[in-house]
Structure 1
């Protein structure tokens, strides 16, 4: 598995804070945490690990602009996920993997381009404080959440939401990332 991580050094718009500075204050390496969470998610779900994911860490304005452009929602959010191929459910993943593998493969690495994740560094900090756990735990939770979206999971219904929540917690627990850590 390959995680390409980009940290925006300057946030567009009027906000003068920079996500790069926020990430340096995290006290953990976002790339290492993202890789561990991504790989564990794939392994727990028995999915192939020869994938690539692009992760962009941005701020309020950067994620607001993408939210507006791609979802027509003019507000900031904590995380956005952009799957490499459309799935109606996670059960479709294995069939889709075979269908899309050829067209969604990086010719240099041979890995499947699973999708893109965008995380708001400001929300990592504020939500960690709000929920009373570490920033590492919040960041890991958002990566796990997005990985599940890339694999076809959703939380449109209560049942789907509960299923995602259990899987997210399983990934974090398997890595020893708890609300107390």
Structure 2
């Protein structure tokens, strides 16, 4: 598996961010029973850059916490059964890895949301990676039923690698 993590954020929010990201990516792939070796690119940036990307790609003129850019389409979310026939361009020609896509995370939002929700920066980063990984595998939350499924899967993925929501005392 190839995980490329590029951190252009100007400060250290989490010293072990690479471990957190890799743990959640692997947990999401295991949870969805992905049968392939994969490539995932992760960019950690600030509100200004994610705002520009959000405006350019989604025509939404504000920063967001995470953006997901899947490389393949999934008629059924998480169904890899026919992806080789359906989308052969989703595989790297040299490595044969399934190119899942790109994840862009605002570390400014990680800090803001962790504080707002009363949990750690680690838990917030893990949540955003799990959320984005599900998008890369075809899940969405545009309607209520999809949102419920996606939220349950996110929590189960996070629980499987120990990133549970801390409760304030």
1:106 maps onto 2:92 in alignment: yes
* Number of the residue aligned with 2:16: 29
**TM-score of the superposition, structure 1-length normalised?**
0.86
Contact persistence 2:5–2:43 (CA under 8 A): yes
* Number of the residue aligned with 2:102: 116
In structure 2, the CA distance between the partners of 1:91 and 1:148, relative to structure 1 (3 Å rule), is closer
Structure 1, residues 112-165: CA drift from partner, whole Å, max 9, x if none? 111000000000001000000010000000000000000000001111101100
* Number of the residue aligned with 2:125: 139
1:95 maps onto 2:82 in alignment: yes
Contact persistence 1:59–1:120 (CA under 8 A): yes
1:41 maps onto 2:47 in alignment: no
**TM-score of the superposition, structure 2-length normalised?**
0.91
1:178 maps onto 2:167 in alignment: no
Show structure 1 runs of 4+ deviating over 6 A.
Answer: none
Corresponding residue to 1:20 among 10, 15, 24: 10
Q: Where in structure 2 are there 5+ consecutive unaligned residues? A: none
Query: For 1:170 and 1:42, how far apart are their aligned partners in 2?
Result: 12
The number of aligned residues is 167
CA-CA distance at 1:103 after TM superposition = 1.9
